[in-house]
Structure 1
Amino acid sequence: MEEKEQQGNWKQLVRLIARTKPSKAMLITAILMSLAGTGVSLLIPLFTKNLVDGFSLSNLSWKQLTVFGGVFVLQAVVSGFASFMLNVSGQRIVANLRDRLWKKLLVLPIPYYDSNRTGETISRMTNDTGIVKQLIAENLTSFLSGIISVIGSVIVLFYMDWQMTSVMLGVIPIAALFMVPLGRQMYHISKGLQKETASFTTTLTQVLSEVRLVKSMNAERREYAAGNKWIKSLYQFGVKEAKIQALIAPLIYFVMMMLLVVIVGYGGMRVSSGALSAGELVAFILYLIQIVMPMTQITTFFTQFKKTVGATERIGSILDSPEEDHSVGKPVGEGAKAITIHDLSFGYGNGEPVLTNLDFRVEPGTVTAIVGPSGGGKTTLFSLLERYYEPTGGTIKYGNEAIDSFNLREWRSQFGYVSQESPLIAGTIRENICYGIEHEVDDAELVKAAEMAYAHNFISELPEGYDTEVGERGIKLSGGQRQRIAIARALLRDPKILMLDEATSALDSKSEVVVQEALKNLMAGRTTLVIAHRLSTVVDADQIIFVEKGKLTGSGTHDELLATHPLYREFATQQLRLQVAEVGE
């Protein structure tokens, strides 16, 4: 059972490496040079044997010394080049692996990120690929040369004196009795260490990305305790790993000493009896070093390989996950078209339905407001329109075509989206406004979009203007400024369909007035869907859709719903009181 699993692990790792399309010519050349370098190193003890057996000052010649020195230099040069080429091959494999993984992460659908924590995904990209890199770029070189050195040395030793070689190899099984269980222990420790590291990375990512929430809630002690738990757990695994390593080093030293005692003792007897020459005994000791020293490297390789198995499984699970396909589908075509939502239903995973049997139509160039109690599925509807999720029932059509028949990339380019907290990337204002635009944006285009978004004036007053850094998540700007940059970004994109999700609800009255004016410029001539709680945002809409608990319970103009829909009337009355209170203040 374990053997089959190990074979599967080898195959999985080889399959993962094959996906990176490594340079076969470079790998083969490196392996051949490694073979050659190790082969040359196997000749050194034989030269030493001849030198010792025939040693005398009269027989010593410059030719012998030159050949002897030349062998050392040749072995060093060939081994160095082999090591370099294997390292370069390993680095290239891992670079390609990271490239594939990064590309994959960007095309994974939103449901993947709903069910996988960001910190763990980051750990796959950084820690796990680092483990694979270490195996290929560092451990593989010493493993290959070590295997060749051990096999070659044993063959030469059997040729020189099979009896003494048999006695020497008899010590190896004794060492294996200790080393194999220790290797298994190291595997389990390494696996646990990787898991704990991923969890710790997740905690760090979550806390540091929301550090303002932590501070505002005085939660430093709570988060310190949570992080300290992972730190202690990592420390405990580190101590366990140190214990195993502390046992391995003395065991290797013990085996080395045992072998040396056996060779010197038994070999000395054979030299005194004339069965073995002094040069052959020296050669035996040198070959012993070439067997024992690589054993450490081979053991390290298998320990690292077991670590890599776990990393390979996790990386493979990401690479094998279903992804969004941006290459298929028909073009959307020119001209604005109606959006028709028919019998639409949706639920996250196997959970309760969020939307049930929605039916309504949005005419091109009109404004449709979607209102209702919180948690009714309004934002989910926007996610379905952008095809972040697939409906569990019903259809969404653009014109006469189902939206899933369009090319995904082209379909999403039809949308401009402004949310309650429009996200900004760490970078300049210019980079944020131009984000996602693939063509070069000239200054005139940029300024025009900013002016229509009522953002140009405040940007011009900043010391660096459009090259001002906004900070992580735009923290250096106010909420109103962030919203206007998001509106400028949407204007520059020139979308056919505009989606506004509570775009002014988090702003103060002064900022809201400016942003509302910017939104009017953005909405002009576009099909617009608005999620809003503010009456001022929805009262002039061409139609209002009222959604409760995922179901459509009313549709019409403001006046029609005011007369026919009790809950909408209550909603409107509350908003009117709120507005009066704000004016009073």
Structure 2
Amino acid sequence: MSRTSKSTDQSAKPIKYNWKSFITLINKAKPSKPMLAVALSFSLISTVVGLFVPLFTKNLVDGFTLDSLESYQIILLVCVFVAQTIASGLSIYLLNKFGQQILSGLRDLLWRKLLYLPVAHYDKEETGGLISRVTNDTNVVKQVVSEHMSGFINGIISIVGSIIILFTLDWQMTLLLLVAIPLTLFIMMPLGRKMHQISRNMQNETASFTSVLTQVLSEVRLVKSSNAEPIEYERGRSGIDKLFKLGVREGKIQAFIAPLMGIVIMTLMVVIIGYGGLRVSNGSISAGELVAFILYLIQIVMPLGQITAFFTQLQKAIGATERMIDILGQDEEIHDLGSQVPTEDSAIRMKELTFYYDQGDPILKNVNFSVPSGKITALVGPSGSGKTTLFSLIERYYEPQHGSIAYGQQDINDYSLTSWRSQIGYVSQESPLMSGTIRENITYGLDRPVSDEELREVARMAYADGFIDDLPDRFDTEVGERGMKLSGGQRQRIAIARALLRNPRILMLDEATSALDSTSERVVQEALNNLMKGRTTLVIAHRLSTVVDADQIIFLDKGSITGIGTHEQLVASHSLYREFAEQQLRYQEQLS
């Protein structure tokens, strides 16, 4: 049975992503809604107060004399500006904090999701693209809320409020003014749609560029040893050029928007001042009302740019939302569902195991064998025969399309992932380490405190204590990214110490000594012997010395088992194994 959570049937019908999806995603981040309400209230106060400033100015212009200027009017005007400034400042701060809550919440959701997605998901997705989802796309969503939403709401209120007040002052000039609004929208909306399209492309290109950076910088030693700097430079340069061209196209549209808005504003200014001047001269309106009209004109036209920017950014955010919802909707591993692994040791049984990747050719075909408890079982065979895939199935990175793996009498899928994986110690050929100290790498993944005595004991058993004691900071020595400050043999011994500290019942060794020199191999092999004592062990090996003493050898060829037995039995009965053994003997003779 599968231990992944089932999301809604997204494969049955495509999801239509829109602003409702955007709101749903925002709610998942659990930001403080009262904070948003307070922030918007301060923003509205600032906008509403601003609507009365032109009326106040009108009265000052129409009735201004030194004798008529009262001190309370000056105080009132100062108080209005101070209140508007404080309300605006508080609104900006609270909206920014609200946006940061969304940013933090979304990144938390995505980070947890990425950690609990099955390994199969990472076979299909590029790491750089996933990083871009967590960093770039979440920031786009945050910007809509913290930087653009307030401008959109205030802009609507400013426009509506200004028009209502203008109608009370002079409806004829107001109608003249309103002609500019649909004209401006007619110009701005197509440009906004074009900007949205460019922004979406820029997000995709940014994700691709991030992916290239991640791949190249994480394998910089391979790049340099292969003299591939020019090739990788061109790959990166291609991404940079695409982002440059998109940025230039975005700049072209902005170059249209700003002058067009300027022309609209200047034209309206000229029309309002000219027409208003005529009406002032014939006494239809006062000079103060004309000044008020000009100020309200600014309060109408300027928010149009904010509203357009909001919709452009909202479209970008909806595009980012689509990708984030896609990730959050993926099935994930559930670690705590299922029973605990029994305390008694048991055999591992493969029953008619068949597996393939994404409907490709079968990697394993109807595989049947048992791994006896407390014994060593070696997996031998040509490259691509399915040995490492078998390890991945035992670790439950993937699930077989047919057949099962049982521990004792129970399918391993019936155990919780946490319980099952805690029984397994895995030492691979590369023995990857995390950036950090030796102590952190040996104790990696444990949720209990580890004493210095325990650390020293597992280091001694792993034959790692000698080189650790020679390091300046001993267990607190930094190993560098992926452990590159240590040699291959040292990394292997750290990995063995980590496995010893976990005290697993099942041990899986994936060619753990194949990449080492003869001196390091002997030391690591001694450490492995300590690790294998009394444990159910599965070994993948290409060296005869590793498998000759195994209790059982499984020979895999093209995904099928072609031989099972001891070394002596297979030498006598299995021609491919006999050829493998002879090649290894010749190789060892050449080395000696």
TM range (shorter): over 0.9
Partners of 2:296 and 2:303 lie apart in 1 by 11
Q: Distance in 1 between matches of 2:108 and 2:557?
A: 45
Cross-structure match for 1:255: 264
Corresponding residue number in structure 1 for 2:188? 179
For residues 475-514 of structure 1, the aligned pairs below 5 Å read 475-514=484-523
Describe the SS at the equivalent of 1:567.
Answer: helix
For the Cα contact (< 8 Å) 2:126–2:211, is it kept in 1?
Answer: yes
Q: Which 10-residue stretch deviates more, 141-150 or 458-467?
A: 141-150
Q: Which residue of the partner structure matches residue 169 of structure 1?
A: 178
Larger mean Cα displacement after TM superposition, 147-156 or 208-217 = 147-156
Alignment of 1:257-336 (within 5 A): 257-336=266-345
Counterpart of 1:368 in structure 2 is 377
Q: Which residue is equivalent to 1:525?
A: 534
> Aligned equivalents of 1:296 and 1:178: distance in 2?
11
Matches within 5 A, 1:436-475: 436-475=445-484
Greater displacement, 171-180 / 77-86: 171-180
- Give secondary structure in 1 for the equivalent of 2:516: coil
- Is 1:148 matched with 2:157? yes
- What is the TM-score when the length of structure 2 is the normalising length? 0.96
Shift of 1:142: 2.0
Q: Once the 2 structures are TM-superposed, how far is the Cα of residue 456 of structure 1 from its aligned partner?
A: 0.4
Deviation at 1:143, TM superposition (A): 2.0
Judge which range, 272-281 or 375-384, deviates more. Answer: 272-281
**Counterpart secondary structure, 2:363:** strand
AA in 2 matched with 1:411: W
Q: Quick one: distance in 1 between partners of 2:162 and 2:286?
A: 18
- Aligned partner of residue 375 in structure 1, secondary structure: coil
TM-superposed CA distance for 1:181, in Å, is 1.5
Deviates more, 1:123-132 or 1:295-304: 295-304
Match of 1:577 in 2: 586
| Offset at residue 247 of structure 1 (A) | 0.8
**Given residue 502 of structure 2, which amino acid in structure 1 is its aligned partner?**
R
What's the offset of the Cα at 1:50?
A: 1.4
Deviates further, 447-456 or 233-242: 233-242
**Worse-superposed segment, 264-273 or 252-261:** 264-273
Q: Within 1, Cα distance between the matches of 2:188 and 2:109? A: 37
Q: Does 1:392 align with 2:401?
A: yes
* Partner of residue 40 from structure 1, selected from 36, 39, 49: 49
Aligned CA distance change for structure 1 residues 6 and 492 (closer, same or farther; 3 Å) = closer
- The answer to whether 1:127 aligns with 2:144 is no
SS of 2:310 mapped into structure 1: helix
Q: 2:17, 2:318 within 8 Å by CA — same for their partners in 1? A: no
Q: Work out the CA distance in 2 between the residues paired with 1:398 and 1:166.
A: 82
CA distance in 1, matches of 2:21, 2:543: 56
The answer to whether the 8 Å contact 2:463/2:524 transfers is yes
Q: CA offset at residue 115 of structure 1?
A: 0.2
* Pairing 1:115–2:124 present: yes
Instruction: Verify the 8 A CA contact 2:128 2:207 in the aligned structure 1.
Output: yes
Q: Quote the offset at 1:178 in angstroms.
A: 2.0
Counterpart of 2:23 in structure 1 is: 14
The alignment partner of 2:355 has SS state of: strand
Looking at structure 1, the residues matched to 207 and 504 of structure 2 have their Cα atoms a distance apart, in angstroms, of 40
Say whether 1:53 aligns with 2:55.
no
Alpha carbons of 1:331 and 1:123: their partners in 2 closer, same or farther (altered >3 Å)?
same
Counterpart Cα distance in 1 of 2:146 and 2:182: 30
Deviations 1:365-422 (A, max 9, x none): 1110010011000000000001000110001001111011111111111110000010
Q: Are 1:354 and 1:376, in contact at CA under 8 Å, matched by a contact in 2?
A: yes
- Give CA-to-partner distance per residue, 1:6-59, whole Å, 9 cap, x none: 995111110110111221111112222221221111111111111111111111
SS at match of 2:589: helix
Q: Which residue of 2 aligns with 1:350?
A: 359
Map Cα deviations across residues 75-98 of structure 1 (whole Å, 9 max, x no partner).
111121122111111111111111
Q: Give the Å deviation of 1:72.
A: 1.0
1:219 maps to 2:191: no
Deviations 1:118-148 (A, max 9, x none): 1111111111111112212212222222222
Match status 1:71 vs 2:83: no
Distance in 2, Cα, partners of 1:467 & 1:163:
80
Measured in 1, the distance between the counterparts of 2:473 and 2:38 equals: 54
Question: Which of the residues 79, 102, 124 maps onto 1:93?
Answer: 102
Matched, 1:191 2:200: yes
Paired with 1:562 and 1:26, the residues of 2 have a C-alpha distance of: 76
Q: Is the 8 A contact 2:103 2:138 kept in 1?
A: yes
Aligned partner of 2:111 in structure 1 is: 102
- Matched-pair contact (CA < 8 Å) for 2:189–2:308: no
How far residue 273 of structure 1 moved from its aligned partner, in angstroms, is: 2.1
Contact 1:87–1:141 (CA under 8 A) maintained in structure 2: no
Query: Is 1:171–1:258's contact at 8 Å kept on the other side of the alignment?
Result: no
2:17–2:322 CA contact under 8 A, matched in 1: no
Query: C-alpha displacement at 1:268, in angstroms?
Result: 1.4
Native 8 Å contact 2:462 2:497 kept in 1: yes
Residue 175 of structure 1 and its aligned partner are, at CA, apart by 2.3
Report Cα offsets for 1:519-546 as digits up to 9, x if no partner: 0000011100000011111111111111
Report deviation, 1:263.
1.1
Once residues 371 and 46 of structure 1 are traced to their aligned partners in structure 2, the CA distance between those partners, rounded to angstroms, is 89
Of stretches 292-301 and 511-520 in structure 1, the one that deviates more from structure 2 is 292-301
Given residue 64 of structure 1, which amino acid in structure 2 is its aligned partner? Q
Per-residue deviation, 1:493? 0.8
Q: Is the 8 A contact 1:157 1:284 kept in 2?
A: yes
1:459 CA displacement: 0.5
- Normalised to the residue count of structure 1, the TM-score between the two structures is 0.97
One-letter code aligned to 2:247: G
- Going from structure 1 to structure 2, the CA distance change for 1:338 and 1:191 (only over 3 Å counts) comes to same
Amino acid at match of 1:399: G
Q: 1:314 to 1:363 in 2, by over 3 A?
A: same
SS at match of 2:513: coil
Residue 434 of structure 2 contacts residue 483 of structure 2 at CA under 8 Å; is this kept in 1?
A: yes
Instruction: Report the Cα distance in structure 1 between the residues aligned to 2:424 and 2:40, rounded to whole angstroms.
Output: 53
Correspondence for 1:552 among 554, 561, 565: 561
Distance 1:143 1:372, change over 3 A: same
Q: How does 1:405-424 map to 2 (within 5 A)?
A: 405-424=414-433
TM-superposition CA deviations, 1:98-129 (whole Å, max 9, x none): 11110111001111100000111111111111
Q: 1:537 aligns with which of 535, 543, 546?
A: 546
Q: Which amino acid in the other structure matches residue 439 of structure 1?
A: R
Please state whether the residue corresponding to 1:353 is helix, strand or coil.
coil
Preserved contact between residue 341 and residue 395 of structure 1 (Cα < 8 Å): yes
8 A contact 2:509–2:539 mirrored in 1:
yes
